[in-house]
Amino acid sequence: MHQLSLTTVLLLLLCFYGFSFFMTLRIGKKEESADGYMTSNGAIGFGMSASSMTATWVWAASIYAAATSGYKYGLSGAIHYGFWGALMILFIYPFGRRFRELAPNAHTLAEIMHARHGRCSQMILAGSNLLGSVISLMVNFTAAGALVSMLSPLSFMQGVLITALGVLSYTLWSGFRASVLTDFAQLVAMILAVVIIIPFLFFTLGGPDLFVEGWHRLDAEQQDFFSKKALLEQGAPYFVAVLAYAIGNQTIAQRLFAVREDLIKPTFITATIGYGAIVIGMGMLGFIAVLAGISPTDGDLNNLVPGMAATYLPPLLICMFFILIIGSLSSTADSDLSALSSIVMADIYGKNVARGRPNPRTMVWVGRVTMVVATALGVCFAYLRLDILSMLVFVGALWGAIVFPVIVSLYWNRVDNLAFTSAVLAAFASFLVARFELLPMTGLLGLVAELVACVGAGVVVGLMAFGLLGKRAGLTVGVLAAAVVLPFALGDLRAYPVLLSSLLAYGVSAIVCTVLSLRSVQEFDFRLIAERVTSFQAPGPRTPATASTIKPAAAKPAHSARATGGAREVTL
Amino acid sequence: MKTAILTLYILIWPALSAAVLAALSWGVWKDIRAARRKGQQLV
């Protein structure tokens, strides 16, 4: 017996996608601008940009995964998923401001790397972005198919096809602008569902009495808010991964280049709180499920939240839950389509095929064709039920390997293409060795891996401190973090290959990039980035970067770099 | 006491979500008014 009839589910989907399509009709232009198709006018206001950032970052998988974490790790589980994901948005904004300062007319991060290092570095970033966005698209379509088939008489593939066509229908013509506009409506639907469904399920399953009657169902680790198991198995690997996702994911960069420059900080802070509240809240459903003694259907934890909704919610709230999930996955899927189109438009067509002299009209059509092809690929991959986890491991590793070289390239004028590329390749290779245990992580090799992983831990924490507090704090906090982790990691970290391999990627990329940069004689003038990254069409209201808008130190002449204690001063 | 804290721990998140929704709605309303005033599109 399905909870939603065929008529109900078709009506819900028709209303959802019909309303989204109707909204985008209001902004449709016969002749869409190439720059607008990728990043709007570069001056979107606070409300729209913060809504879009939040809606994009909350996807169906994050709701399911947060609940899974709450179910597995109890009291702290939801925090170890949602809090770190939210914090990532906060930590990335200082770097975002630097990206905008250096390249106010950029459309993709890979475009900036092209201006900084050339084609090789650009294609590494663009390639990983493309792969990541196609995977994300497939995951969202798969989640839609699974939800539709669970709650209605429609099949998995019917759900996938309706969702894919629905998302494509309202995103195709206006691209990124349509994605941002619909994100607000989708976010409203999502938050309303969260605000109503979580308290409803909590009180339906027993309310405060649940803690008295169900507490014995938790083991010692699940009862502990400071559970070591939850931290090492969920929190720490996720904390490390999200920084990589923030840098490697074009959907975030795209919004960064679209928001009005002076609104970057409030936008990111609001998105941090919004994402945290929604995802941790949904994660609490997993915690409630353990307390109430609920088991997921067929033992599959992805069925936990849909199963709870189907069992305990009245028909109206099941409809709300359905819209919550469809809204979350559609807002991310349309962002993925916009991200994919802008990478192909700017990085492949604009910078490589057209060699920097693209025809704007052709460029827009390149974006639209990309969306159609990407949707078809997402549907095919969803049909084939490919092993998502394995692909995510590879993309996550590649993104983890590029974080340090990308960030440091935009602050340190001595990083060159050789340092960037070598660091990424070495880090990716070391990740593969540790993650899949291609070599036994024992004896001296295990010890060296753990030492480098400690450097990686210092790099992750140090980068975050550097972004918020500056170079001195970043270096101090990074060294302290590595020193604090060291006694716990040596001999023990090898038991956690996911965490070890992620930290190893950071450590190796940082060491290789730093060593090769110290040997480099290049001293890059950061003003060149703004000169090289320009609008593809008629200039809009954006402010072109000048020497005065870039921090003075970045524009210092070559002889200004000075030696300090054997190491060159980082030009900030 | 413990029960009250745990109840708050569960219910604080939907409350926070509602507050964010209010802030975003206010922000979007201001964006719409600013766009109308300047005769520009919202996005």
The ipTM is: 0.96
Instruction: Write out pLDDT tens, residues A196-230.
Output: 999 999 999 999 999 999 999 999 999 999 999 99
**Closest residue of chain B to A223, computed from CA coordinates:** B6
Nearest to A89 by CA among A461, A464, A394: A464
How far is Cα A517 from Cα A196, in angstroms, rounded to an integer? 54
Greater model confidence, A305 or A3: A305
pLDDT band at A390 (very low <50, low <70, confident <90, very high): low
pLDDT band at A543 (very low <50, low <70, confident <90, very high): very low
* pLDDT mean over A368-396: 85
DSSP string across A19-46: HHHHHHHTT--SS--HHHHHHTTS-B-H
Give residues with Cβ within 8 angstroms of A139, minimum separation 6: A59, A60, A61, A388
* pLDDT mean over A176-201: 95
A275 part of contact set with chain B, CB < 8 Å = no
Strand, coil or helix: what is A179?
helix
Strand, coil or helix: what is B42?
coil
Quick one: pLDDT at residue A155?
A: 94
The β-bridge partners of A567 are: A564
Quick one: pLDDT at residue A157?
A: 96
- Out of A17-26, A440-449, A530-539, which region has the weakest mean confidence (pLDDT)? A530-539
Backbone region of residue A138 per phi and psi (left: phi > 0; alpha: psi in -120 to 50; beta: other values)? alpha
List chain A residues with CB under 8 Å of B40.
41
CB contact under 8 A, A27 and B43: yes
| A470-A258-A379-A59 Cα dihedral, nearest 10 degrees | 60
Assigned CATH class of A44-386: mainly alpha
pLDDT band at A431 (very low <50, low <70, confident <90, very high): very high
B36 part of contact set with chain A, CB < 8 Å = no
- Out of A452-466, A519-533, A554-568, which region has the weakest mean confidence (pLDDT)? A554-568
Strand, coil or helix: what is A300?
coil
CB contact under 8 A, B13 and A46: no
Q: How many other CB atoms are found less than 10 A from the CB of residue A21? A: 17
* pLDDT mean over B15-37: 96
pLDDT band at A60 (very low <50, low <70, confident <90, very high): confident
Residues above pLDDT 90, as percent of chain A: 70
Quick one: pLDDT at residue A81?
A: 92
Quick one: pLDDT at residue A387?
A: 65
Quick one: pLDDT at residue A421?
A: 96
Q: Is the pLDDT of residue A551 over 90?
A: no
pLDDT band at B1 (very low <50, low <70, confident <90, very high): low
Question: Domain spans of chain A?
Answer: 44-386, 389-527+547-572
Strand, coil or helix: what is A382?
helix
Quick one: pLDDT at residue A317?
A: 94
pLDDT band at A339 (very low <50, low <70, confident <90, very high): very high
Size of interface A-B (CB pairs under 8 A): 109
Nearest-CB residue to B24 (from A50, A208, A211): A50
A181 part of contact set with chain B, CB < 8 Å = yes
Quick one: pLDDT at residue A303?
A: 84
The residue with tokens 């995103």 is A171
Q: Is the pLDDT of residue A148 over 80?
A: yes
Quick one: pLDDT at residue A388?
A: 62
Please give the helix or strand (H or E) that residue A531 lies within, else none.
helix A527-532
Quick one: pLDDT at residue A396?
A: 75
CA distance to A130, A393, A562, B14, per residue, from A380 (Å): 16, 20, 55, 37
- The torsion angles phi and psi of A182, rounded to 5 degrees, stand at -75, -25
pLDDT band at A244 (very low <50, low <70, confident <90, very high): confident
Quick one: pLDDT at residue A89?
A: 87
* pLDDT mean over A231-244: 83
List chain A residues with CB under 8 Å of B21.
187-188, 191-192, 195
Quick one: pLDDT at residue A301?
A: 86
Q: What is the CA radius of gyration of chain A?
A: 24
Strand, coil or helix: what is A259?
strand
Q: Is the pLDDT of residue A562 over 50?
A: no
* pLDDT mean over A147-173: 95
B20 part of contact set with chain A, CB < 8 Å = yes
Q: How many other CB atoms are found less than 10 A from the CB of residue B37? A: 8
B13 part of contact set with chain A, CB < 8 Å = yes
Quick one: pLDDT at residue A213?
A: 93
Instruction: Write out pLDDT tens, residues A28-43.
Output: 888 889 999 999 988 8
B30 part of contact set with chain A, CB < 8 Å = yes
How far is Cα B21 from Cα A477, in angstroms, rounded to an integer? 35
Strand, coil or helix: what is B25?
helix
Q: Copy the structure tokens of residue A56.
A: 């994009």
List chain A residues with CB under 8 Å of B26.
47
A195 part of contact set with chain B, CB < 8 Å = yes
DSSP letter at A493 equals G
The residue with tokens 């939907």 is B14
Quick one: pLDDT at residue A172?
A: 96
* pLDDT mean over A410-421: 96
Contact call for residues A553 and A564 (beta carbons, < 8 A)? no
Quick one: pLDDT at residue A2?
A: 67
CA distance to A193, A361, A441, A502, per residue, from A484 (Å): 42, 55, 22, 18
Nearest-CB residue to A284 (from B10, B15, B27): B10
Q: Is the pLDDT of residue A277 over 50?
A: yes
The number of residues in chain B equals: 43
Helices and strands, number each (H, E), in chain A: 24, 2
* pLDDT mean over A422-451: 93
Please give the helix or strand (H or E) that residue A564 lies within, else none.
strand A563-564
- Out of A70-74, A174-178, A352-356, A503-507, which region has the weakest mean confidence (pLDDT)? A352-356
Considering only residues 33 to 92 of chain A, which have any Cβ-Cβ distance to chain B shorter than 8 Å? Answer: 40-41, 44-48, 50-51, 54
Greater model confidence, A340 or A307: A340
A185 part of contact set with chain B, CB < 8 Å = no
Shortest alpha-carbon distance between residue B39 and chain A (Å):
13
Q: Copy the structure tokens of residue A397.
A: 């590793």
Q: Copy the structure tokens of residue A459.
A: 């790099």
Shortest alpha-carbon distance between residue B12 and chain A (Å):
8
Q: How many other CB atoms are found less than 10 A from the CB of residue A559? A: 7
* pLDDT mean over A493-509: 91
Quick one: pLDDT at residue A160?
A: 96
pLDDT band at A555 (very low <50, low <70, confident <90, very high): very low
Quick one: pLDDT at residue A1?
A: 54
pLDDT band at A286 (very low <50, low <70, confident <90, very high): very high
A191 part of contact set with chain B, CB < 8 Å = yes
Contact call for residues A564 and A135 (beta carbons, < 8 A)? no
Nearest-CB residue to B20 (from A177, A211, A277): A277
Average pLDDT over chain A reads 89
